Amino acid sequence: MDRSRHLPINISVLLASLLVASCAATPLGGPGTPTPAPTTVLSATALADKGAATPIPATSAPPTEACAHFLPAAPCITYNSVAASSDGKALPWAAAGAVKIQLTSVNGGLQLAIRAPCSPFSAPVTIRGNTLTVGRIAVGAAGCVGAAGDYQSWLQEFLKRPIAMTYANGTLFWVSGPDSLSFKSE
């Protein structure tokens, strides 16, 4: 009699064990497991036109980078600052090459790289005619305080406005509102 009383409990334990074991044996990605969504990359055109997000397949190839011209007549090189002014007043800190700029084409989009007194900047840009427009600026992790920090702030404000560009006698000129920067080849 003792045996018959424990039989229903042993069958219940056996069934519960089988259920637990069968759940643990379900392979990953099976029923009840969320699957990751496929990765998509948006083209530069799609990012600029938020209403027309055109997904393109993600690739593992490294980006292609090539030197780009600020203006058709300007050589494709790195430029060093030789002069700057703010509201017509000279800014001597920029005269000794404190700001270095280079324009590259990365996978069909333009990218501006700037080495400034405190930290580097990078930003996507567009050029329409002789006007350079800087997109969202990424600033390097380094930083500084005092006068060099003020120069950095001035440069960031300069880049936020459309920049009219000209090139003459080996000098690239930028004018942004009441401020200007001049560059020569490195």
Structure-token match 């600052």, residue found:
81
User: Residue 56 domain-assigned?
Assistant: no
User: Residue 93 domain-assigned?
Assistant: yes
Per-residue pLDDT reduced to its tens digit, 53-67? 556 666 677 888 899
Q: Return d(Cα 171, Cα 83) in angstroms, integer.
A: 10
Scored b (16 or more CB within 10 A) or e, 132-167 reads bebbeeebeeeeeeeebeebbebbeebbeeebebeb
User: Residue 140 domain-assigned?
Assistant: yes
Mean pLDDT of the chain: 79
User: Residue 4 domain-assigned?
Assistant: no
Domain count, the chain: 1
Report the CATH number at residue 174.
2.40.128.270
User: Residue 48 domain-assigned?
Assistant: no
The count of other CB atoms within 10 Å of the CB of residue 83 is 16
- Please give the full DSSP string across 11-52, using - where no structure is assigned: HHHHHHHHHHHHHHTSPTTSTT---PPPPEEE-HHHHHSTT-
Mean pLDDT of 83-93: 95
Per-residue pLDDT reduced to its tens digit, 116-148? 888 899 999 999 999 999 999 998 877 788 888
Domain range for 145:
65-185
User: Residue 171 domain-assigned?
Assistant: yes
SS3 category, 169? coil
User: Residue 129 domain-assigned?
Assistant: yes
Quickly list H helices, 86-146.
none
* Selected residue with higher pLDDT from 43 and 137: 137
Q: Give the pLDDT band (50/70/90) at residue 5.
A: low
User: Residue 14 domain-assigned?
Assistant: no
